[in-house]
Amino acid sequence: MDESQSVGFLGELTREACLGLLAIRDVGRVAVVVDGQPIIFPVNYVLDGDLVVFRTDPGTKLDHGSFGRVAFEIDYIDESRKEGWSVMVAGMGREITGALDAASEREQLLPLKPWASGPKEHWIRIISPEITGRRLHRSGFVGEQAVDEGTITNAKSQA
């Protein structure tokens, strides 16, 4: 088998690497469950510590993502090199619009600018997050630090 057909190395990212990647992106996909079926939407988001926060208008994301289980994902794929990474956040969606606690008030002041038109007046936070990630790479990096630093460096150059 020649190099163009070889299989890459698949490894898990540390929580810290996942948070680093989440911190440098601003577009991801949120999945909600409607009538037993997952539905996925692109959203702009901001990271507050280890919590993903996004804005939305009334509709499916608000109806099914504000008090239910949700998943959130970001990724990067380099098709020419057959490399990439993916970070997933699974947790409970909670609407924080109008909340009076300090964290909710702080989060609603974060620089979150949706690309899509509409007021996006409803803010949703993903709480109790389980954050995982994986990276597929072709290089021979050994050791978690080399993989994490390379992943974040590559992600910053693509952001």
Distance CA(63)–CA(30), nearest Å, equals: 13
Block mean pLDDT (10 aa), the chain, length 159: 66 97 97 96 97 96 93 96 95 94 93 92 96 87 44 52
Burial of 30 (C-beta count, 10 Å sphere; 0-12/13-18/19+): buried
pLDDT value of position 6:
60
Question: In terms of Cα–Cα distance, which of 132, 120, 130, 131 is closest to 95?
Answer: 120
E-only strand ranges, the chain? 9-12, 27-34, 37-48, 51-56, 69-78, 83-95, 122-137
pLDDT, residue 152, reads 53
- Which of 7, 3, 8, 6 lies closest to 85 in space, CA to CA? 8
Q: Which domains does the chain possess?
A: 3-158 (2.30.110.10)
